[in-house]
A and B are shown apart, each in its own frame.
Chain A
Amino acid sequence: MKDNRLKGIIALAVVTVLAFGIIYGSKILVKDEANNQKDVGQNDENLPGSIDVSGAEGIVSAREITDDAGNITAYSVVAEATGFATKPVTMEVVFENDAKTIKELKVVSHAETPGYGQKMEEESFLNQFKGISAPIYLRGKAPVADTSNQDVTAPTQEGYQDGIYRVEADEVDNKGYLYMLTIKVEEGKITSLVFDSMNREGEYKSYLSTVGEYVMTDDGPTWKEQADALANYVLEKQSIDGLTVDENGKTDVVSGVSISINNFLDLAKKALQMAKTGEGAESTGSDEAGYVDGDSGEVGEIDGISGATVTSNAIIKLVNNAYDFISDYAK
């Protein structure tokens, strides 16, 4: 009896050691394979159904997902785009086999700001993508006509469409700040203008300058006071006419303002242009009106992450890149 047990235990111990050897060995094997694949090239050619992605900007890898019979059931594209952080946002976009309808969006990795861009991990955000067709747009940004290439001229007269107009700089400036401007038009008049900028930590410059963490001069007006002065000028004049700048982007028109106002002028021009046409307006009343409804599934619109437009834009760009790539491939 006892001998039987002892034998059993010894056998158990030996087999267990062997099993751990196998487990550990398989780990090393897998690592080697991974290295080999790296040597082969960036694309995982050894993976079944993988698609050559060399030369495609922002596409990390792509593959066909097939059923047992070899029919393509879906496409998976891993794409990246730079958001707020220097490390790009990487996501996996799974398309249906029509290479257009999004089946699922998964976060692979990112380093976006906690509490802002990080919210992309929330299911409520990711679930929006399920079942909509690419290309996708931020809610309210679906194109009616492409305005980015139009000559943007400063409005010379009043007559704005009611609504709230938000604009943001296309990219973060060299100090890591993203400029943003919002105007509110009621009864054809600009009643409010907010100009601010946010850093990668999600802190507003207006706040930082008020608490003394963003200091330009020791005794002059703070950044926020200057931004407010610019806003007041526009509210008073109902336009940015006359807000002239010198070659350094400084202005003499508004007293106390010593900051370079090129950022401000660009954004204000855009916002006022939008206000003139009424395009992209968010309702001043209820928050839902004013966006182009994506009925019939033609326009895939999603709600961006509030407070993290740069991240949202990066995700949109990433998904659309993935779509461009896979729709080309599937043709």
Chain B
Amino acid sequence: MKLKSGKQLHDVSPHIVKNWSTKEIMQDVVIALMPAFLGSIYFFGLNSLILVLTAVTSCVLSEYIWQKIRKEQLTVGDWSAVVTGILLAFNVPSTTPIWAVMVASVFAIIVVKQFFGGIGSNFANPALMGRALLLYLWPAQISNYITTNHSGVDAVSSPTVLGMLKSGSEISQFSKWDMFIGNIPGCLGETSALLLLIGFAYLCYRKVVNLAAASSYVLTVLLVTFVFSKDGFFKGDILTNLLSGGLILGACFMMTDYASVAPRIKVVLAIIAGLITAGIRIWGMLPEGVSYGILIANCLSGITEMIIKPHIYGVKLKSKK
């Protein structure tokens, strides 16, 4: 893809071969995230709006200031920082302090993205790295999940459904329907499978996502958590694992975000991410595992690419006989 100046930038995956610009793709992602964004305001209140705006502003500003200081080409108009900001805010609970979101945004853009060469060159998803930083520095501040406003009673703090599963508590107060529409405690943007899937459908329609990668990620997680469940083999709760955490947000909007490679390799990476996510959910200390699964797969993209030689365009694959 080319910028206005004509300078060639690195390929931006997930996004299939395209003859339109990064800016349009990123705008599409932002548009696709809008239903879940509105949902987060509905479920968790105005705090969601404030956190998302804070993260977006911090991301865009830090990219702008960094590129101004370094006298680099300004890519801030390509909307990618906006996407990072929204995804970052989507990955924290609504009780997260504003300053923490600001710190994570600056870290995501400057350290994770710009230090490694800007858009397309970053080794891992900046938004997830921002969240990982918060989880490491201030675990208490970003683990205070609350119930939604949906039920009409005041929000109270509550562990997430997966957190309850991990600690062995009953989760019967949350129906599968609640999980599907998003009426469960969790991070801003992850709770409503319905609204996320609507956005994802838009991206599919616009052909800017790698459906194969997203679905292989989800299927891997579901398969492994089903086979190796806490209650024994083949007893995992598929729907709860699918609907109650950040799996759909991760699969639709982060698994397929930057820092990846050819579509075929993306599927391999998605499966690796799925295995790690499922492993964390079953045997790890953390209940969720989506962000670490994707981040680790991000880091493994280089070596995967070395092992699996990319198909060279114009050359037929050898048929096995």
Contact = CB atoms under 8 A, between A and B. Distances in A.
Interface in A80-116: 94, 104
B170 interface: yes
B35 interface: yes
A312 interface: no
B224 interface: no
B219 interface: no
B202 A12 contact: yes
A234 B45 CA distance: 62
Contacts of B195: 16, 19
Interface in B31-47: 31-32, 34-35, 38-39, 42
Interface in B175-228: 177, 181-183, 192, 194-195, 198-199, 201-202, 205-206
Given A12-B35, A15-B198, A104-B169, A23 B150 contact: yes
B151 interface: yes
Contacts of A76: 170
A12 B172 contact: no
A200 B300 CA distance: 61
A59 interface: no
A216 interface: no
Given A12-B35, A22-B194, A27-B151, A1 B205 contact: no
Contacts of B199: 12
Contact of B170 (A1, A19, A65): A65
Contacts of A20: 38-39, 42
How many chain A residues sit at the interface, stated as a range, is 20 to 34
B170 A94 contact: yes
Interface string B20-40: 100010001001101100110
B235 to A, nearest CB: 9
B35 A1 contact: no
B6 interface: no
A23 B151 contact: no
Contacts of B172: 65
A65 B169 CA distance: 12
B152 interface: yes
Contacts of B205: 8, 11
Given A23-B42, A76-B170, A94-B170, A12 B31 contact: yes
Nearest to B28: A5
B83 to A, nearest CB: 16
Contacts of B170: 65, 76, 94, 104
Interface string A18-30: 0110110011001
Nearest to A94: B170
Nearest to B194: A19
B206 A5 contact: yes
Given A8-B206, A16-B35, A1 B182 contact: no
Given A5-B206, A19-B194, A19-B198, A27 B38 contact: no
A296 interface: no
Contacts of A12: 31-32, 34-35, 198-199, 201-202
A4 interface: yes
A9 interface: yes
A16 B31 contact: no
Contacts of A5: 24, 28, 206
Given A8-B205, A16-B198, A26 B38 contact: no
Given A20-B39, A23-B194, 15 more contacts: A1-B20, A4-B206, A8-B205, A11-B205, A12-B32, A12-B198, A12-B199, A16-B195, A20-B42, A23-B182, A26-B181, A27-B152, A30-B151, A31-B152, A94-B170
Sorted from nearest, which 5 A-B pairs have the closest CB atoms? A16-B35, A12-B202, A23-B181, A15-B198, A8-B205
Interface of B: 20, 24, 28, 31-32, 34-35, 38-39, 42, 150-152, 169-170, 172, 177, 181-183, 192, 194-195, 198-199, 201-202, 205-206
15 contacts: A11-B202, A12-B35, A12-B201, A15-B35, A16-B34, A16-B38, A22-B181, A23-B182, A23-B194, A27-B150, A27-B152, A30-B151, A65-B170, A76-B170, A104-B169
